[in-house]
Amino acid sequence: MTAGFLLGGPVHIGTILYCIIIGTIVGFALPECQWLTNKVLRKMGSRKHNNKEIKRGVSL
């Protein structure tokens, strides 16, 4: 939003609402995606008989 404003683009109520709503959606969806990928990675790891913990760059 800030970059668009600095480049001369219009910033109206729709832009502000979009930023707020998309942030909320990502905040709810990201942990669910991490849960799903953990499940898939554990299943793939069990096929290789590897019981190591899944290492990620970010943890919640």
pLDDT at 42: 82
Q: Residue range 26-35: average pLDDT?
A: 88
pLDDT score of 52 more than 60: no
Q: What is the pLDDT of residues 10-29, one digit of tens each?
A: 888 988 899 899 999 999 88
Mean pLDDT of the residues in the chain: 79
Residues with Cβ within 8 Å of residue 60, at least 6 apart in sequence = 31, 34
Distance between CA 19 and CA 7 in Å, rounded? 17
Distance between CA 53 and CA 18 in Å, rounded? 37
